[in-house]
Chain A
Amino acid sequence: DQQVKQNSPSLSVQEGRISILNCDYTNSMFDYFLWYKKYPAEGPTFLISISSIKDKNEDGRFTVFLNKSAKHLSLHIVPSQPGDSAVYFCAASDFGNEKLTFGTGTRLTIIP
């Protein structure tokens, strides 16, 4: 049972445009959400997070939006840069904060 879902395995965006990556979850106990970025042959690195008490969090070019009623979050990257080409994972943890559950990832390719 996939509790965190990223339905788009890949996404291609032109440099300078907006990249929007989507994530859906099924567990209503999740209350903290994170996005990670992963380059080949490296470990995932933390990008941005959001608590369930918020609906938006910004950090430079990256913004995460949370829609609790729809159990949906999205990551916006504006403007997209070639260095943003990577696999992006959505992750969630519940109130106990013990386990971190990941989605299947979306491969983002920025076209110069």
Chain B
Amino acid sequence: NAGVTQTPKFRVLKTGQSMTLLCAQDMNHEYMYWYRQDPGMGLRLIHYSVGEGTTAKGEVPDGYNVSRLKKQNFLLGLESAAPSQTSVYFCASKRDGNTEAFFGQGTRLTVV
């Protein structure tokens, strides 16, 4: 049982380049989330999805887009990377109701 898997684990981008981070979960969870973790800022919600085909903005959505075409996958896209997007990105998923979220291992992204 893999849980939540993030691809890639590390990436270095040049300013202006684009990329997509993939999150896959095998727990049949309805809800999926993308967070970024920065020093002193905790985990901040970028975008989330409450089901296949739906997405919504979190606290810090600017510069990112997401898609949830399949229930098990949640993609995070950076169309034109900026140094301010250097961060560690975490994907998470959960069932409906008062339940805990399960996190992936993280993607460390550096934009130079």
Contact = CB atoms under 8 A, between A and B. Distances in A.
Interface of A: 6, 9, 31-32, 34, 36, 41-46, 49, 51, 89, 91, 93, 97-105
Q: How large is the interface on B (under 10, 10 to 19, 20 to 34, 35 or more residues)?
A: 20 to 34
Q: Which of A32, A34, A49, A97 has the most B CB atoms < 10 Å from its CB?
A: A97
B84 interface: no
Contact of A100 (B33, B41, B96): B33
B40 A44 contact: no
16 contacts: A34-B100, A36-B103, A42-B105, A43-B90, A43-B103, A45-B103, A46-B100, A49-B98, A97-B98, A99-B48, A100-B45, A101-B59, A103-B42, A104-B40, A105-B42, A105-B43
Q: Which of A43, A46, A89, A104 has the most B CB atoms < 10 Å from its CB?
A: A43
Given A42-B105, A43-B90, A46-B102, A89 B43 contact: yes
Interface of B: 4, 31, 33, 35, 40-45, 48, 50, 56, 58-59, 90, 92, 94, 96-98, 100-106
A46 B96 contact: no
Contacts of B101: 34, 46, 100
B34 to A, nearest CB: 12
B93 to A, nearest CB: 11
Given A32-B98, A43-B4, A97-B97, A104 B42 contact: yes
